[in-house]
Structure 1
Amino acid sequence: MIIYKPEVVQINNTVRLQAKFEIDNKQESLWFSVPLAYEQYLLQERADSFLVGLLPLAMERGEDIFLKAPVSEKLYYTITTYLMGALCIALPHLNRISIRAETLMPNPVETANAVGTGFSGGVDSFHTIYEHLHRACPPSFRLTHFTFHNVGSHGDFGGQEASDLFQKRIQLIRPFAEEQHIDIIEIDSNLSEVLKMNYVQTHTLRNVAAVLTMQKLFRYYYYSSGRQFKDFELKTKVAGSYDLLSLTMLSTESLSFFSSGANYSRVEKTRHITEYEPTHRYLNVCAGGSSANCSRCEKCLRSMLTLEVQGKLDLYQPVFDLHVYRQEKTKYIAKVLADVKKDAYAAEIYNEMRKHAFPISASSYLLMPYYKIKHRLKRLIMQGK
């Protein structure tokens, strides 16, 4: 794979940082776009974003990379010396490849010293905001910007449907950003269409690639963690289980990434954010493919059950359909009971239920064996893949 020098192209009210690359004797283009007002912060002098974004594709195909553009020396060193080996352990289908760069840049990029985080409206991202805006935080580490990316969370493989969902979801969270008087930067991309890979396995690389385009803006960036430090694991296909390693290896001389919130469980973070009134109106955790909370997918039910156990669910009537939740609650608790020894989130919720002496219906206990068998079959199928 050959990656060429990035260039900046204006398209209507947005500006793209794009780079051509060659693979399988074909030339393609990878791009990231931001609002025109942020053009001055795009890093076109280095190919950092494109190295990170295209790394999983090259490793999957066993293609060595030659960068015909400068790249940050620290990033080159950490990827080639540490990160690739770790990725091969986590995802055995990837191949160790050779990476050569035309020029290594050891000097930091001059930045505006901004501090950013991705904001989706979920528990993890709201917790990051609460900690870095409304709790004790050194001035240099306080948030100044939010970002919102279209790199796979709205659809693994991109396309128009994912793009439409990206636009719908940002409209839901924009009012919160306006209330806080903090800019939210839309970063669109065709990375999903280029990679055509599983998002859960590659989300850290995808989102970091998007942020690295803005190295002239950001000095620090908080990547909201979905896992605790104690759950660190490398032999897993869930990228969030080893973010602590990945984010360190993807930092540059200019931009430091932090795994935010990893010292707390999801249950603890949920408890913390209930103290933050805007979450009562803007919490959006849905993984069901809709823009607003569907109130019946795994993430919606997990959040609502946690909130009910903590006695806070009624505060969230503006964002959840409690009627749907009550219809699904018995079955979901049965799923939690069935998976309590296999899933960290299920174990957290179960322990919280015991702590609060939360009543569990006989129907949930009766359904538990069914879900145990169902989950066991699902795991066997996944192992077969």
Structure 2
Amino acid sequence: MRIGPIERTTADGFLELSVQVTGADGGAADRLWYRIPEEFADRLADTADTFLLAALFASIRRGESLHSEGPVSASLLENLEEFQAAWAQWRPDRYTPIALSADQEVADPDTPDDRSAIQTFSGGVDSAFTTVRHTKKSAGRASLDLTAAVMVHGFDIPLTDGEAYWSLHRRSVPLLASVGVDLIPVATNFRSLWHSDLNDWEDAFGTGMVSVLSLFAGRYRHGLIASSEPYGSLVLPWGSNPLTDGMLSSGRLRIHHDAAGVDRSDKVDGLSRLWPQGADNLRVCWQGERKDANCGRCEKCIRTILNFKVAGRPLPAAFQQDVTPDQIGSLRGLSEAHINPLRQILATARRNGLKEDWTVALEACIASNEDELARGVRYEGGFPQLASAGTAG
């Protein structure tokens, strides 16, 4: 595969950066693009690192070498060799390590590290905890000078749903401003172009997030990706994890897999204490009809509600109603990645001596889904099923 030169176009106050990506067969080129407001153009990187990162999984899936006609950080090319080795070990049936190259391999800048940082922000528990952890300097020596975040249109909110994306963005701008963080809107066709299949997306979404962060390596030296699982309960392989996220770093932008030493229920507890406004504005849902709100019936909404329960925290305003034991028990079609966080909640409940109707329902839910997973039961579309619509408590 070959990545062409970066093309820049402006329209209606937005700057679009795009490249043509041509496969080894010489067929029709794919056009990969990223769009940002022009006011953030002075923060952009001077390399094509973003586009090389974005094309990586498509290239190793096809087993085709990848070459960029734009300049690429030599340190990134080196790190990506180890990154590929990990994924080839994890999924040898799917990925083949390939050669990476660029017309110009550029050295890292010889400038002091000012600890400046930018993060990905979706409005969920993990990203909100990363925000407050660094803005309140509660990460100890790991605390960075976090002053910016990116919210991506085209990842969990499809490009076709602009209304939901901009609704969420408008709500999140003052929320992040309250802790001194700028929110940068970024749209990209990264997912819809090469990773529309859920299996491909679950492997590649980490490179997608880092590709967006790398756009802004002209201003920031560190990129933060919030952990989704704690060290004690990792699910591998998974698109973002503490083993390989750092391998997506360059000398221009060091990538951190943040807060894997904290489980999700403790994140909820910390968020409730340190940034209650952040808790009240959580947006965790990805399956509901409205992508800017929480449906209360998908597995992500339900497990987040359970995180608050097991942490002994009141349900925040982000959720309109509690969940019932019947709804917990009705969850089906969960993958290992969905069951694992539920096991963590149940383990915490047991450690805390909790035995309530919802913990009994959760235990049954986990057992039923583990059984279906072992028997190879699959549901239409391969997605988790929504819980029953029974009246919540």
TM-score bracket relative to the smaller structure: 0.7 to 0.9
Partner of 1:38: 40
Tell me, in whole angstroms, the C-alpha distance in 2 between the residues paired with 1:108 and 1:129.
Answer: 27
Query: Normalising by the residue count of structure 1, what TM-score does the alignment of the two structures yield?
Result: 0.85
Moved more, 56-65 or 89-98: 89-98
1:129 is aligned to 131
Which residue of structure 2 aligns with residue 221 of structure 1? 223
Residues 109, 153 of structure 1: CA spacing in aligned structure 2 closer, same or farther, 3 A cutoff?
Answer: farther
* 1:7-46 → structure 2 map (5 Å cutoff): 7-23=7-23, 24=25, 25-43=27-45, 45-46=46-47
Query: What corresponds to 1:70 in structure 2?
Result: 71
Map 1:124-203; keep pairs closer than 5 Å.
Answer: 124-136=126-138, 141-155=144-158, 159-161=159-161, 163-197=162-196, 198=198, 199-203=201-205
Amino acid aligned to 2:177: E
Specify whether residues 139 and 364 from structure 1 end up closer, same or farther in structure 2 by C-alpha distance, changes over 3 A only: closer
Question: What SS does the aligned partner of 1:107 have?
Answer: coil
Instruction: Compare the two structures and name the one with the higher helix fraction.
Output: 1
**CA offsets 1:358-380 (integer angstroms, 9 cap, x no match):** 33339946992x86345433452
Aligned residue in 1 for 2:264: 266
* Count of paired positions: 366
CA RMSD of aligned residues (A): 3.1
What SS class does the counterpart of residue 207 from structure 1 fall into?
helix
371 and 331 in structure 1: CA distance in 2 versus 1, 3 angstrom threshold = farther
1:350 is aligned, of 337, 346, 349, to 346
Partner of 1:97: 98
Q: Distance in 2 between matches of 1:153 and 1:84?
A: 25
Question: Which amino acid in 1 is paired with 2:260?
Answer: A
Q: Does 1:376 align with 2:371?
A: yes
Alpha-carbon distance between aligned partners in 2 of 1:204 and 1:246, rounded to the nearest angstrom: 9
Change in Cα spacing, 1:367 to 1:280, as seen in structure 2 (3 Å) is closer
Change (3 A) 1:351 1:364: closer
Counterpart residue type for residue 157 of structure 2: H
* 173-182 or 67-76: bigger deviation: 173-182
Flag the 1:112–1:194 CA change in 2: closer, same or farther, 3 A: farther
> Which residue does the alignment assign to 2:387?
none
Query: Structure 2: which amino acid aligns with 1:6?
Result: I
Q: Which runs of 5 or more residues in structure 1 are unaligned? A: none
Q: Distance in 2 between matches of 1:6 and 1:191?
A: 15
Distance 2:191 2:330 in 1: 35
C-alpha separation in 1, matches of 2:160 and 2:335 = 36
Hey, what's the Cα distance between the residues in 1 that align with 2:282 and 2:361? 30
Shift of 1:89: 2.5
Q: What aligned pairs does 1:43-62 form with structure 2 within 5 A after superposition?
A: 43=45, 45-62=46-63
Deviation at 1:13, TM superposition (A): 0.9
Aligned partner of residue 26 in structure 1, secondary structure: coil
> In the TM superposition, what is the alpha-carbon distance from 1:356 to its structure 2 partner?
3.5
The residue that corresponds to 1:87 in the other structure is 87
Q: Distance in 2 between matches of 1:366 and 1:281?
A: 24
| Residue 251 (1) aligns with residue 254 (2) | no
Judged with a 3 Å threshold, the aligned counterparts in structure 2 of structure 1 residues 42 and 366 are, in CA distance, closer, same or farther, namely closer
Q: Is the Cα–Cα contact under 8 Å of residues 125 and 267 in structure 2 kept in the other structure?
A: yes
Contact 2:339 2:369 in 1 (8 A): no
TM-score, with structure 2 as normaliser: 0.83
**SS at structure 1 position matched to 2:276:** coil
In the aligned structure 2, how far is the partner of 1:173 from the partner of 1:250? 27
Distance in 1 of aligned mates of 2:142 and 2:205:
29
CA contact (8 A) 2:3 2:20 kept: yes
Contiguous gaps of at least 5 residues in structure 2:
383-393
1:35/1:375 Cα in 2 relative to 1: closer, same or farther (>3 Å)?
same
SS for the counterpart of 1:313 is coil
Identity of aligned residues (%): 20
1:204 aligns with 206
Partner of 1:3: 3
* Equivalent residue letter for 2:343: A
Q: Distance in 2 between matches of 1:14 and 1:53?
A: 21
In structure 1, distance between residues paired with 2:363 and 2:115: 54
Q: CA deviation at 1:308?
A: 2.1
The 3 A distance-change label for structure 1 pair 46 and 114 is same
